[in-house]
Each structure stands twice: as structure tokens, then as C-alpha cells.
Amino acid sequence: MRVIGFSRGRYYVYIDREPLVGHIAFGVIDRGTNVLQIRPTTICPYSCIYCSVDAGPFSRHRQTEYIVDVRHLVKWVRYVYDYKGGDVVEGLIDGVGEPPTYPYIVELVSSLKKFLPRVAMETRGGTLTKELVDALARAGLDRFNVSIDTLRKEKAVYLQNTPWYNVERVREVVEYIVRETDIDVTLTPVWIPGINDEDIEEVVEWGLRIGVGKRFPPFGIQKYEVHKYGRKIPGVREPTWSEFRDFLEVLENRYGVPLHYKKLDFGIRKTKAVEPIYRVGERVVARVVGSGWLWREVLGVDYRENVNITIVDIDFSPSLIGKRIDVRIIRNRDSIYVARKE
């Protein structure tokens, strides 16, 4: 890995040799289903006021943005795919950034389609163009998950906290995808109680009118959630799951379309998972290879097991690179490893 830039107090790092299993922000994540999460970049041009991962230019917690070499990433996706015995139905290109900003996104989709039955991508739509959509269609992309929270221009700018975001242009591109390509669209707005209740209804009405969901569920409405390092909207309370279900049921009855996640069928099921290498509490020696994703983190690697380990509660300094540190594992869920210095 190498530092390719430094701006606004953040490192920009290109990863082309390090392991791509073990970190939540980049690489490959297996959560024990037949869908693999594929994360090529952490970079995001938006600063959404409710962002659960504090992405974008106004991030307060990020220390590093990562971009992964495309061939290196495909190699690791193939490794996890083979480990699971090929029991994978979809590669979902998602992450803590905006996937269409990845400079090799078309090559990534094309390469993944050589062995994955289907490939989907998450986006807010503002970075899509008709030219990019056409290229992704030729590469074999199966579905866009488009997170569009309102169709109202001013409110869209407010929610994205991004002056250049043009929801009317996003609508135009989405309608082009549905009308002119074989790529399916699932609309995935975030419901923020008291902020965009009526907007969600308008998004549903628009989606049904233009014909999203040809082969997949047309909608996957998300619940506004507050996370430790995410952004919280002042004066807005996070809804309970019961309140969220009640909100969806009203819309389901009104529009005759399933919206609750338990009623949606993307063909996802449990499968053999990548087994955790470490137990919580286990002592490990990790080699520091760079700055961590968030402040007070460093990125470590256990080359013996070929996995990444995020080491928390330690300030990064370039002088740490190459040093071996005794750490104790404090998280191992979904083969994402977090440790603290001994």
C-alpha cells in the first residue's frame, strides 16, 4: 500500500498488496450468506446529514480514505468465493463510500461477472451519467440500489448536504436505466421520521410509475439509524423497529407492494461463512502497515494468517509503519477484526 495524497487532514491510500479480508471499510466481507459485500473505495463526495459512516468532505472522524487496486480486489473476491465452494449468488458493490466514484468500476463489474452469477451496486445516483450507465450495462451489471430520499430539489440538497446534488438529474438517469438498459433498479430511500414521510410516498409512486423492479424487489426502504461515529440529525429521534414496520405497513396497504424486508426476495440465504481466525480475547502480533480508517486507529496485518486487523486507541505516526505490536482481539464478527494494543 502507498500514500497517494494528503488533503483536508486525511491520507489517501492505494492498496495493492495487503490482505482484503478483515477490515470493514474496504475489501471483501462475508456475513454468512450467499451475497458478498465488495468494497473498492471509501471515497464519497456527499456529506449526508444522517450518514451512518460519517462519509464525505465534512467527515469529523475519518483519518484515511482507501482505494483498492482492481485486480487485487477481484483476486480476493475469487478467493472468498472459492472458500465458500462457489455458493455465492451475488456480489454487492457497496461500502462506506460512493462506488461509482471508483475509477475502475466498469473493469471491476466486468471481471466479477466472469464468475459471479450477478453483480449489484449501491449508489445515491448523483455521480451516475448515461455514459457510465451504458458502460456498466455492457459490463454486465445486474442491478442498481439507488438511495434517493426525496424528489424535491431543495430538500434533496439539504439531506445530502451537497450544493451540487441535483435530484432532477438523478431522476432522469434512473428513468434512462429503466427505459434503455437491462439493468434493474431497486429504490432504497432512508425514512427519517418527520423529515421525509411524504417524500417516501412520492418515491414509491414514482418508482411504480416508471417500472423499477423488473426482476428484483422494486423497493428496499431503510430505517434512519444513529451510529457511534455517524451523523445525528438534531431534533430527530431514531425510530424503533416497531415504528418502522408500522410505517411500511401503511404504505404496503396503500400501494399494494411489499416493503418490509421480511417480504422481499433477493434470493439471499445463509451459507457457509469464512470462519473467524481469532477468538475474542486472543493475543496476536500485528505489523503496522499504515494509518487507520478513523482517528486513533492504525491498520495492522497478520501476515501469518493473511488478514487485516484494525488496532484502536492508538495514534498513527509514520514512524509506526513496519513495527510489530502485541494486540488483543476485541471483535471478530463477520471476520472483521478489531484489536487493542496490549
Share of the chain above pLDDT 70, in %: 100
Residue 290 has pLDDT above 90, yes or no: yes
CA 309 to chain CA centroid, Å, is 19
Q: Domains in the chain and their CATH numbers?
A: 2-263 (3.20.20.70), 283-341 (2.40.50)
Please state the rounded mean pLDDT for residues 3-10: 91
87 CB-near residues (< 8 Å, 6+ apart): 34, 271, 272
Q: How many residues does the chain have?
A: 342
pLDDT of residue 331: 97
Identify each DSSP E strand in 117-262 by its residue range.
118-123, 143-146, 184-187, 190-191, 222-223
pLDDT of residue 297: 97
pLDDT of residue 181: 98
Model pTM?
0.96
Residue 124 has pLDDT above 90, yes or no: yes
pLDDT of residue 295: 97
What digits encode the pLDDT tens for the residues 140-189?
A: 999 999 999 999 999 999 999 999 999 999 999 999 999 999 999 999 99
